[in-house]
Amino acid sequence: MKSIEVKGTARAIAERSSEQARALKEIRKNGGVPCVLYGGNEVVHFTVTSEGLRNLVYTPHIYIVDLDIDGKKVNAILKDIQFHPVKDTILHVDFYQIDEAKPIVMEVPVQLEGLAEGVKAGGKLALQMRKIKVKALYNIIPEKLTVNVAHLGLGKTVKVGELSFEGLELMSAKEAVVCVVKLTRAARGAAATAGK
């Protein structure tokens, strides 16, 4: 899995919530994003520039994050992002520190491979799940999960429960549909004329 470096500055937490709200508002006003790092011995509150998060947040890829908080380096994963409901700017980011001995849960992008039999017959291949949740040690998790669809006929699906990847435990619902070959009007018309 690829890694990306994010630099942050530690910040103190105000004791009163009104002071904390003012401090967070000021951080955002100055182009910063409040962040929290969980999973270590202590919870770390820090600030990153919104520009420093752009390549991590606005991408279909997944990354190990090399966090540099005031010179202290930590490996982490992106756990949660909160966006402004109207402006779509980043309001808050949660990171989770990686423990090399413990498995982590991540959503990994799905990539379809091959030309489905159903597509050759006039159907349309539709990706229903862009990411599948997996659990594994961080160094085993791939950048993407490749699903071969060459065998897929008209109206047929691939479900999460039908997939397996070495070293990964699939955490998404087993009955969830990953992709389907949908019947198009052309395929229905061809089937109707073939039946006559």
Q: Could you tell me which CATH number the domain at 3-97 has?
A: 2.40.240.10
Residue 195 pLDDT greater than 60, yes or no: no
Give residue 192's pLDDT band: very low, low, confident or very high (50, 70, 90).
low
Give residue 185's pLDDT band: very low, low, confident or very high (50, 70, 90).
confident
Determine the topology of domain 104-195 in CATH: RNA Polymerase Alpha Subunit; Chain A, domain 2 (2.170.120)
* Distance between CA atoms of residues 34 and 102, nearest Å: 27
**pLDDT score recorded for residue 88:** 85
CB count in 10 Å sphere of residue 32: 22
Q: Closest Cα to residue 104, out of 129, 80, 74, 79?
A: 79
Q: Averaged over 55-78, what is the pLDDT?
A: 92
Report domain extents, the chain: 3-97, 104-195
Q: Averaged over 96-114, what is the pLDDT?
A: 93
The DSSP result for 80-142, as a single string, is EEEE-TTT--EEEEEEEE--TTS-EEEEEEEEEES--HHHHTT-EEEE--SEEEEEE-TTT--
Q: What is the mean pLDDT of the chain?
A: 90
Q: Is 21 exposed, middle or buried (0-12, 13-18, 19+ CB in 10 A)?
A: exposed
Q: What percent of the chain has pLDDT over 90?
A: 67
* Residue 155 Ramachandran class (φ > 0 left, ψ -120 to 50 alpha, else beta): left
Residue 133 pLDDT greater than 70, yes or no: yes
Give residue 127's pLDDT band: very low, low, confident or very high (50, 70, 90).
very high
**pLDDT score recorded for residue 32:** 92
Give residue 104's pLDDT band: very low, low, confident or very high (50, 70, 90).
very high
pTM: 0.79
Q: Which two tokens stand for residue 35?
A: 């962040």
* Distance between CA atoms of residues 149 and 153, nearest Å: 9
Question: By mean pLDDT, which of 10-14, 80-84, 101-105 is the weakest?
Answer: 10-14
